[in-house]
A = this chain, B = another copy of it.
Amino acid sequence: MKREIHASVKDEQLIKKRRSQMIRGAVSLFKQKGFHRTTTREIAQASGFSIGTLYEYIRTKEDVLYLVCDSIYEEVSERLGRMDLDKGTLASLKIGISHYFKVMDDMQDEVLVMYQEAKALSPEALPYVLKKELEMVGMFEQLINCCVEKGELDIGKEHQQLLAHNIFVQGQMWGFRRWALKKAFSIDDYIKLQTDLLFSGIKGYQPQV
């Protein structure tokens, strides 16, 4: 599933180093002007090497986008992976959400970039990215499901699944709607308020059958 991006250069160490320079440069450019308005020359320059060198490590401009997206998911996954998914307490769920939201806050720019540019990936690369997303949603589903199994939570399968999506989107939302949210809330406010809404719902309401 994971696409191997072709490099002409053999030295794996070097590839890693150059690509990391590349990703850093590209994220900063994509953030400012988006993928389409950024030229390969600019990416090369921001990466600290020449256009010729850039093409020693990728085959097409889209490869850069893929590398960027991949690296972002990698980092998010990695940071979320540290959570204990199987505790099965509401407290641990709450901690998980809070942790995720904080990661999203740290990676605002990256999230924004991915959010806006991922659709520019080719039809071959897109599925991999979407799969990664589902994996992450899956983490929240697992977190929630454990609570249900431990009897801490009483919601159906479908509610669980949608809840996981909601949490995931609310994390991203902090990134892509920050033009509106940041005016009103700090990240800590945001975490507190979202948690309240998620957990307590709206008082007095009874779901109808």
Contacts and interface: CB of A to CB of B under 8 A. Distances in A.
Interface of A: 34, 36, 90, 116, 119-120, 130, 133-134, 137, 152-155, 158-159, 161-163, 165-166, 169-170, 173, 177, 179-181, 184-185, 189-190, 193-207
B90 A193 contact: no
B152 A165 contact: no
A185 B164 CA distance: 14
Given A116-B116, A116-B119, A119-B34, A166 B205 contact: no
A198 B193 contact: no
Nearest to A190: B162
Contacts of A169: 169-170, 173, 177
A165 B181 contact: yes
Contact of A197 (B130, B179, B201, B204): B201
A204 B137 contact: no
B155 A166 contact: no
Q: How many copies of this kind of chain does the complex include? A: 4
Majority DSSP secondary structure for residues of A touching B: helix
Contact of A158 (B152, B165, B189, B204): B189
Given A169-B177, A197-B166, A203 B159 contact: no
A180 B34 contact: no
A197 B163 contact: yes
Contacts of A185: 158, 162
Contact of A204 (B130, B153, B195): B153
17 contacts: A36-B36, A90-B202, A90-B205, A116-B116, A130-B179, A134-B180, A153-B203, A159-B196, A162-B190, A165-B177, A165-B181, A166-B170, A166-B194, A166-B197, A169-B177, A197-B201, A200-B201
Given A120-B34, A180-B130, A199 B207 contact: yes
A203 B205 CA distance: 11
